A and B are shown apart, each in its own frame.
Chain A
Amino acid sequence: MTLILKNIGRRYGKSWVLRNLFLEIKDGECLALLGPSGCGKSTTLRLIAGLDIPDEGSIYINGRDLKNVSPSKRNIGMVFQSYALFPHLSIASNLTIGLKVRGATESEQHQKVSSILTLMKLEDLAYRKPAQLSGGQRQRVALARALLRDPEVYLLDEPMSNLDAQLRESLRPEIRSLILQGQKPVVYVTHDQQEAMAMANKIAVMQKGNVEQIGTPNELYNSPASIFVASFIGRPQINLLPPESGIIKGIRPEDIIINENGINSKIIYQEWLGSSKLIMLDTPIGELRMITSSNDQIPECPKISWDIKNEHRFELTTHKRLN
C-alpha cells in the first residue's frame, strides 16, 4: 500500500511551480518535504489532497488513480498550518462531523470521538470552542481530527510552525509515534531542517519546483547531492571554499580541526552554543565556521586543517556532487 506521485507538474500561467516530480511513500513511512518558501512543497501537498489539480502526471493511492476523485472522496487526513478547526463548533463536534457525513452510527461516533479525546488528553475540552484553547491544544485537536477517520494517507502542512520552540520540541516524539502508529504513508511539509530530521525517515529537499535529493536524514547530511542540499541541511551551515579548477569544496564546521601543519587563521568572533561553541575564523581562503567543544582552549591565531575524507566536492557550473 503506497502513495505514488508520477511525473507531476503544476504551473501557474507560464511558470512551473512543480516539474517532473516523482515520489513514492510506503506504509509507515514519513516523508518530509523540505525547502524554502515557494519551492513547491505546499503545492505538492495540495495536489495529493485534491485541493489543487496537476497539469501533468498522476497520483495513486494503493494503486487507485486519483484523477477526477474529489477531495471529499479521497480519504485523506490532513493537518493544516492554521489547524483549520471550525470556529463555531465545539471540539467534540469538530471531530464528529467527518464521521457523521461518512455514515457512522451515533454510538460509533460517540465511541470513536471519546476514545480519541482520551488518547490526545483532550477529554476536559470536548465542549469548548477552538478559540478557548491554547495553540498546543488546537494542534492536538487538528491532529485528532486527522487520526480519527483512519485515513489512507496523512498530510501535515507545517503542523508545528505556530507553536513556540519549547512546545514544538516536546510534541515531536508524540506526534511522530501517533502518525507512524497508523502504518500509513505520511507526508510532512516543513521549512525547518531540524524538524524534518526529527520527524521523517526520508526527506525530499526541494528547490524551485524540483526535488534536489531524496534520502534518509543521514544520507542528506553525509553525502548531499548538491550545494543547495549541503547548505540547507546542517547548522551551522557548511563552509564553501572558493572554486578551484571547476570544483567547489564544502567542509562541515565540525570537521575542521586544529593542526600545527595547517593553514593560518585568526578568530573573528565566537558564539557560545552550550556544550559546543561556534568560532568564526578569518583565513587566506575566506571566512570559515568551526565548531569545537566549549571546553577546548583555542589560541587567538590557530592553525587549522581537515581530513580530506570529510571534503564534499561539487561541480562549479551544475553545483552537483562529484565524490
Chain B
Amino acid sequence: MKKNLSLPIIILLFWSLFPLLWQLYTSFCTPEALTHPLEIIEHRWTLENYRQILKSDPPFIRYLFNSILLGITTTLLTLVFSLPAAYGLVKIKPYKAKLIRIILFGIALFPYVLLFLALLEIARDLNIGNNILMLSIPYSALSMPLAILLLTSALKDIPSELEEAAKLEGLNLAQRLKWILIPLIAPATSSTAILVFIFSWNEYPIALTWLSNPDLLTLPVAIARIAGSSVYSVPYGAYAAATVLGALPVLLIVIIFQKQIISGLTQGAIKG
C-alpha cells in the first residue's frame, strides 16, 4: 500500500512545489544565468537580487512590516466579532441559525473583487484611504462569513452539558467564554486566524486601490510594482527575491501551527 502511494505523492509534490522551487532558484541567479539555464556560465549564483530590494527606498522590510501589521489587526478584528457571532448562532433557534448560515455561505462564495470599486468610493467619502489600519475593516468584513462558519461548527461540537456544568459552577457568560468555550475551540480558532491572516497577506485589488503612498504599500502591491518598475524589462531576479521574502512569514506560521490548522479544519468532520 505504502509503496503504491509513494509515486503519486512524489508527482504531486513536484507538481505543487516546482513553481516555488523555481522561484527560489531564480532569486539567487544572475540575469545571464536566467537567460542561459542549461549552459555553463561564470557568474550563476548571486545575492544581488536580495541586496537590491532590501536597499531600495523604502526598503522591502517596510512592506513586510506593513503586511504583518495589517494581517494582525485584521485577524484580531475578525475574531473579536466572529466569536460572539458564532456563539449567538449556536444558541438561537435552529431554523433561524440555518437561514443565517445559508446567507453567510452565499456571502463567503461571493467574488469579492466585484466590490473593490464600491469600497474605493466608501474609502474616499470617509477619507480613510492611505491608512494601513483602516484597510483591516474591509478585510475583516470579507473574512467574517468564513470565520463565523468555521467557529460555529467548532462550538457546536462542544457537548451542551459542559456549558451547563459551567453555568452551575457559577460562571457567567464572559467567564464561560474565557475559561471553557474559547480554550475548547482553540484549534478551530487558530486555523481560522491563520486563514484570515493569509487572506489579508495575499489581498491585492483593495490594497492597490486604497493605498497610494509608497511607504504604506502592502507586500502584493509592492511586489507587483517591482515587476512593473521598468518599461523595457521585467527584473525577474528582484521580483523572485521579493516573493521569496514575502512567502517566508506565512510559511513559518504554517510550519509552526500545522497541527492546529489540520485539527481545526477536520474537527467537525470526524464526529459528523
Residues 76-99 of A at the B interface (beta carbon under 8 Å): 76-78, 80-82, 84-88, 97-98
Q: Taking the complex as formed, is B159 at the interface, i.e. its CB lies under 8 A from any CB of chain A?
A: yes
Kindly provide the distance from the CB of B165 to the nearest chain A CB, expressed in whole angstroms.
Answer: 4
- Are B167 and A72 in contact, with the CB atoms below 8 A? yes
Taking CB as reference atom, which chain A residue is nearest B161? A84
- Are B161 and A82 in contact, with the CB atoms below 8 A? yes
- Of B52-60, B172-180, B196-204, B234-242, the stretch lying at the interface with chain A is B172-180
Residues of B within 8 Å of A77, CB to CB, are 168
| Choice from B161, B162, B170, B183 contacting A101 with Cβ under 8 Å | B170
Q: Taking the complex as formed, is A162 at the interface, i.e. its CB lies under 8 A from any CB of chain B?
A: no
How does the 8 Å CB contact mask read for B140-169 relative to A, with 1 for contact and 0 for none?
000000000000000000010110111111
Q: Taking the complex as formed, is A289 at the interface, i.e. its CB lies under 8 A from any CB of chain B?
A: no
| Choice from A51, A97, A101 contacting B164 with Cβ under 8 Å | A51
Measured between alpha carbons, how far is A76 from B161 in the docked complex, in Å?
Answer: 15
Taking CB as reference atom, which chain A residue is nearest B184? A88
- Are B183 and A78 in contact, with the CB atoms below 8 A? no
Kindly provide the distance from the CB of A144 to the nearest chain B CB, expressed in whole angstroms.
Answer: 12
- Are B171 and A97 in contact, with the CB atoms below 8 A? yes
- Number of B residues contacting the other chain (C-beta, 8 Å)? 17
Measured between alpha carbons, how far is A304 from B138 in the docked complex, in Å?
Answer: 87
Total A-B Cβ pairs within 8 A: 60
- Are A78 and B170 in contact, with the CB atoms below 8 A? no
Q: Taking the complex as formed, is A70 at the interface, i.e. its CB lies under 8 A from any CB of chain B?
A: yes
Taking CB as reference atom, which chain B residue is nearest A145? B169
Residues of A within 8 Å of B172, CB to CB, are 72, 101
Taking CB as reference atom, which chain B residue is nearest A75? B170
Residues of B within 8 Å of A78, CB to CB, are 165, 168
Measured between alpha carbons, how far is A49 from B167 in the docked complex, in Å?
Answer: 10
- Are A80 and B166 in contact, with the CB atoms below 8 A? no
Kindly provide the distance from the CB of A308 to the nearest chain B CB, expressed in whole angstroms.
Answer: 50
- Are B169 and A101 in contact, with the CB atoms below 8 A? yes
Residues of B within 8 Å of A85, CB to CB, are 165
Kindly provide the distance from the CB of B4 to the nearest chain A CB, expressed in whole angstroms.
Answer: 36
- Are B165 and A84 in contact, with the CB atoms below 8 A? yes
Measured between alpha carbons, how far is A71 from B161 in the docked complex, in Å?
Answer: 13
How does the 8 Å CB contact mask read for A135-172 relative to B, with 1 for contact and 0 for none?
00000000001000100000000000000000000000
Residues of B within 8 Å of A49, CB to CB, are 164, 168
Q: Taking the complex as formed, is A102 at the interface, i.e. its CB lies under 8 A from any CB of chain B?
A: yes
- Are A86 and B166 in contact, with the CB atoms below 8 A? yes
Kindly provide the distance from the CB of B173 to the nearest chain A CB, expressed in whole angstroms.
Answer: 9
Measured between alpha carbons, how far is A84 from B167 in the docked complex, in Å?
Answer: 12
Residues of B within 8 Å of A51, CB to CB, are 164, 167-168
Residues 168-220 of B at the A interface (beta carbon under 8 Å): 168-172, 175, 179-180, 183-184
Taking CB as reference atom, which chain A residue is nearest B158? A87
Kindly provide the distance from the CB of B235 to the nearest chain A CB, expressed in whole angstroms.
Answer: 51
Q: Taking the complex as formed, is A320 at the interface, i.e. its CB lies under 8 A from any CB of chain B?
A: no
| Choice from B159, B162, B169, B183 contacting A98 with Cβ under 8 Å | B169
Measured between alpha carbons, how far is A70 from B170 in the docked complex, in Å?
Answer: 9
Measured between alpha carbons, how far is A145 from B168 in the docked complex, in Å?
Answer: 11
Measured between alpha carbons, how far is A149 from B180 in the docked complex, in Å?
Answer: 19
Kindly provide the distance from the CB of A273 to the nearest chain B CB, expressed in whole angstroms.
Answer: 37
Q: Taking the complex as formed, is A303 at the interface, i.e. its CB lies under 8 A from any CB of chain B?
A: no
- Are B184 and A72 in contact, with the CB atoms below 8 A? no
Kindly provide the distance from the CB of A47 to the nearest chain B CB, expressed in whole angstroms.
Answer: 13
- Are A80 and B165 in contact, with the CB atoms below 8 A? yes
Measured between alpha carbons, how far is A49 from B164 in the docked complex, in Å?
Answer: 9
Kindly provide the distance from the CB of A44 to the nearest chain B CB, expressed in whole angstroms.
Answer: 15
Measured between alpha carbons, how far is A257 from B179 in the docked complex, in Å?
Answer: 63
Kindly provide the distance from the CB of B157 to the nearest chain A CB, expressed in whole angstroms.
Answer: 12
Residues of A within 8 Å of B164, CB to CB, are 49, 51, 71, 80, 84
Measured between alpha carbons, how far is A145 from B179 in the docked complex, in Å?
Answer: 16
- Are B170 and A84 in contact, with the CB atoms below 8 A? no
- Are B168 and A71 in contact, with the CB atoms below 8 A? yes
Given A98-B169, A102-B170, residue A84 in contact with residue B159 (CB < 8 A): yes
Measured between alpha carbons, how far is A50 from B167 in the docked complex, in Å?
Answer: 9
What are 10 A-B pairs at a CB distance below 8 A? A49-B168, A51-B167, A72-B172, A75-B170, A77-B168, A81-B161, A82-B161, A84-B164, A101-B175, A145-B165
Which residues from chain B sit less than 8 Å from chain A, CB to CB? 159, 161-162, 164-172, 175, 179-180, 183-184
Which residues from chain A sit less than 8 Å from chain B, CB to CB? 49-51, 70-78, 80-82, 84-88, 97-98, 101-102, 145, 149
Which 3 pairs from chain A and chain B are nearest by CB?
A: A98-B169, A84-B165, A84-B161
